[in-house]
A and B are shown apart, each in its own frame.
Chain A
């Protein structure tokens, strides 16, 4: 019998050692998972800012943040959902698209196990959950930031015109009357675009559970008195020459702020940061933030995170979502880095809320915004909201630019919306 040569034994040993090492040490193996998060600017900066803290808490999960332009991102996500391929683990969605995506059926219902998202419901600003819920009652996404609607106004200009904040906010009629006084005394416009006025006035008197354009049965509501009144107000503002007809985010608009030619702007609280950073930095200290006129509470924008049904790493995705949304530190960090207002109520209790905001003349505006956020009605979204918004906007343009009659315009809008939403 031949003995196994020494060299063979050595070779075998050399092979066995690493082999057994790998077999025996699965528990210690550092298996890094890559979590793909698809998002868009500016939200991507919130995710990127959270990376260091994430790595500390979840060292085995590496974040891969893929960012595309706003419309491109939602298009890419639509494409991915259509084919069921190329889906990220976490999908960021904007308020404008959440209705469509929630209805698509391609997102996990976060209310079910193992997520049990409903357990977290009380921790978030009330209306956000409604926005993320589909018509079948599925919770399609978790809210991460909100845009409490506020009226930003130039204190120095209204002082000059002898107008007070209360005049501006009492109701729509007094808002417009104040606008006339401001125009007469200072020559400044009340607002940038009459369409903005129409857009927010539409939401007057809505309660929890009432949709803006559609009711619970899907009937189109655009010929209701609420819409007529909003159109009338917008038209009145235009005819009295109170709006600068400036499109948002253009030179005119920025110039309007820089030169004090626009006295007020209704938008999400986040506009304060933009004004301060680049739109009109030299006007610091002259602005104040107030409630929207007429006791209206609304929101401008908001972002959500969802998990596609075909995502590869769902448990980690849920960890990430909770990390971004239900974690107070992350939410506050986003506030610091991006000026986005947290959706998590716990973040509203932090000392950061008491911080006086220099741009607003030292006003502790975050307390106001927190208050506004709590009072915004929980309005359900419909997947045809975008269509209805477009059509109403076009009809309003015809009313103010071509003198079309309001009742006719709204009737046309109704039939057009019904046509588009026929399915």
Chain B
């Protein structure tokens, strides 16, 4: 009987992860291989599969020496930092606050924070361009009102800001929309992780005289590490692949779009405007390397704790 149990236990994990790998083999591997193959060729897809022309690593070299590629990497990293950092710095305390303090209004508040994630892209594009409108937007209207307030007023700009028209303002505006969109998502993630933490731990700590901040720092944070690793990894991956928000907010036909061109948007342009799928694939692999490196760095920071003391050894 022991022999049989051992066998099942050995085989089980492979069986359990099999569905993912089967699907990956069928639907993921071919596109992956195709993409690698493509990055070594020059190809305009409209000309058909047979028209691929082998160019070796020329595409990679071309991308690495391209000024627009450098600009896009800079933009991407800028967005990752400026919208990613606040997302987490705010989401964590918020989730904590909601978990501890709110009972009846909890659903409503979390719902409010989650709404941005549900709002459709089309709506976001239209409504934010309305809100951020230079002469008629609510934001500028509020700022105009604030100029009347004595102290604060001196900090306010003299004339209405062209949020989506001037590079200096468009970047923060787009970063804000990304932040706005994903704050709730991170709140939800952290909240679900906070549910797991045993309430008794906090009670015991309070009895021992530990203050709120100490409890947060020494109980909550360590136990949240696995979820933080998950959430931060997602933010890294998501932000480095950022495409949607800059794309829908700033029309690609407008001059200022270069200031919010992320690497993913650059890739899109290469593929569908320039008809250069080969270079686009090369850029996607270069981006992949950047993402992989950053994820690895992240796992050094948080990843050790995966499972912690609770997982099987």
| Interface residue ranges, A against B (CB under 8 Å) | 71, 74-75, 77-79, 81-84, 100-101, 103-106, 195, 245, 247, 250-252, 255, 383-384, 386-387, 390, 393-394, 396-397, 401, 416, 419-420, 423
- In the assembled complex, which residues on chain A have CB atoms less than 8 Å from the CB atom of B254? 195, 247, 393
Binary contact readout B124-141 vs A (1 if CB under 8 angstroms, 0 otherwise): 000001100111110000
Which of B130, B162, B275 has the most chain A CB within a 10 Å cutoff?
B275
Q: Does B258 have its Cβ within 8 Å of any Cβ on chain A? A: yes
A77, A101, A386 interface centre (most CB from chain B within 10 Å): A386
Would A396 and B275 be within 8 Å (CB), given that A81-B48, A106-B46, A245-B165 are in contact?
no
Give A307 Cβ to nearest chain B Cβ, in Å. 15
Residues of B within 8 A of A387 (CB): 273-274
With a cutoff of 8 Å between Cβ atoms, the chain A residues found around residue B167 in the complex are 401
20 extra interface residue pairs, beta carbon distance < 8 Å, beyond A82-B49, A247-B165? A77-B46, A78-B272, A79-B45, A81-B48, A83-B49, A100-B275, A103-B47, A104-B48, A106-B46, A106-B48, A245-B134, A251-B129, A252-B135, A387-B273, A394-B255, A394-B258, A401-B256, A416-B67, A419-B66, A423-B42
CA distance A131 to B112 in the complex (A): 52
Whether A84 lies near B133 (C-beta < 8 A) is no
CA distance A221 to B253 in the complex (A): 21
In the bound assembly, the distance between CA atoms of A401 and B51 in angstroms comes to: 41
Interface residues of A, dominant DSSP? helix
Asked whether any CB of chain A lies closer than 8 Å to the CB of B145, the reply is no
Closest 4 CB pairs of A and B: A397-B255, A104-B46, A82-B45, A81-B46
Chain A's closest residue to B44 (CB) is A104
Pick the contact of B130: A71, A251, A419 (CB < 8 A): A251
A252 touches B49 (CB 8 A): no
Query: What is the CA–CA distance of A84 and B48 in the complex, to the nearest angstrom?
Result: 7
Q: Which residues of A contact B258 (CB under 8 A)?
A: 394, 397
Known contacts A252-B133, A383-B275; decide if A100 and B46 are in contact (CB<8 Å).
yes
Name the one of A81, A245, A251, A386 contacting B45, with C-beta atoms under 8 angstroms: A81
**B45-89 interface (Cβ within 8 A of A):** 45-49, 51, 66-68
* Nearest chain A residue, comparing its CB with the CB of B133: A251
- Contact A390-B273, Cβ < 8 Å, known A100-B46, A255-B136: yes
Give the chain A neighbours of B273 by CB distance below 8 A: 386-387, 390
Which residues of chain B from 208 to 264 have a CB within 8 Å of any chain A CB?
Answer: 251, 253-256, 258
* B166 interfacial by beta-carbon distance below 8 Å: yes
In the complex, how many angstroms separate the beta carbon of A112 from the nearest chain B beta carbon?
19
Closest to B68 in A: A416
Residues of B within 8 A of A397 (CB): 255-256, 258
B134 to A390, Cβ gap below 8 A?
Answer: no
**Sampled A-B contacts (7; CB under 8 Å):** A74-B272, A106-B47, A250-B129, A251-B129, A393-B253, A393-B254, A401-B256
The distance in angstroms between the C-alpha atoms of A31 and B136, with both chains bound, is 59
Interface residues on B, range: 35 or more
User: A255 to B129, Cβ gap below 8 A?
Assistant: no
B contact residues around A195 at 8 Å (CB): 254-255
Interchain CB contact (< 8 A) of A247 among B47, B49, B135, B251: B251
- A390 to B268 alpha-carbon distance, docked (Å): 13
A401 to B275, CA, bound (A): 29
Distance A180 CA – B133 CA, assembled complex (angstroms): 26
Q: Report the Cα distance A401→B165, complex, angstroms.
A: 10
Closest to A261 in B: B135
Residues of A within 8 A of B165 (CB): 245, 247
Chain B hits for A81, CB < 8 A: 45-48
In the complex, residue of chain A having the shortest beta-carbon distance to the beta carbon of B275: A100
- Give, as a whole number of angstroms, the nearest-CB distance from A169 to chain B: 26
Of the listed residues B46, B48, B67, B68, the one surrounded by the most CB atoms of chain A closer than 10 A to its CB is: B46
**Chain A CB within 8 A of B164 CB:** yes
* Binary CB contact string for chain B from 164 to 195 against chain A (1 if under 8 A, 0 otherwise): 11110000000000000000000000000000
In the assembled complex, which residues on chain A have CB atoms less than 8 Å from the CB atom of B45? 78-79, 81-82
Flag if B49 contacts A393 (CB, 8 Å): no
A105 touches B48 (CB 8 A): yes
Contacts of B256 in A (CB 8 A): 397, 401
Q: Mark B103-143, 1 if CB is under 8 A from A, else 0.
A: 00000000000000000000000000110011111000000
A416 to B162, CA, bound (A): 29
Distance to closest chain A CB from B244 (angstroms): 14
Q: Which residues of B contact A251 (CB under 8 A)?
A: 129-130, 133, 136-137
Q: In the bound complex, how far is the Cα of B193 from the Cα of A94, in angstroms?
A: 51
Would you call A393 and B130 a contact (CB within 8 A)? no
- Interfacial chain B residues near A71, Cβ < 8 Å: 272
Q: Kindly report which residue of chain A lies nearest to residue B274, judged by CB atoms.
A: A387
Chain A's closest residue to B167 (CB) is A401
A109 to chain B, nearest CB (A): 15
A397 to B257, CA, bound (A): 10
Could you tell me if B46 and A252 are in contact, using CB atoms closer than 8 angstroms? no
Q: Are B135 and A78 in contact (CB under 8 A)?
A: no
Question: From residue B255, how far is it (CB to closest CB) to chain A in Å?
Answer: 3
Q: How far is the CB of B302 from chain A (nearest CB, A)?
A: 38
Bound complex: CA A7 to CA B238 (Å): 75
A84 and B49 form a contact (CB under 8 A): yes
On whether the beta carbons of A255 and B135 are closer than 8 Å, the reply is yes
Which residues of B have CB within 8 Å of A100?
A: 44, 46, 275
What residues of chain B lie closer than 8 Å to A416, measured between beta carbons? 67-68
What is the chain B residue whose CB lies nearest that of A195? B255
CA A248 to CA B136, docked complex, whole Å: 15
Cβ of B66: which chain A residues have Cβ within 8 Å of it? 419
* Contact between chains at B255 and A420 (CB < 8 Å): no
State A79–B45 Cα separation when bound (angstroms).
7
Contacts of A384 in B (CB 8 A): 274
| Cβ of B171 to closest chain A Cβ, rounded Å | 13
Which chain B residue has the least Cβ–Cβ distance from A422?
A: B62
Contacts of B136 in A (CB 8 A): 251-252, 255
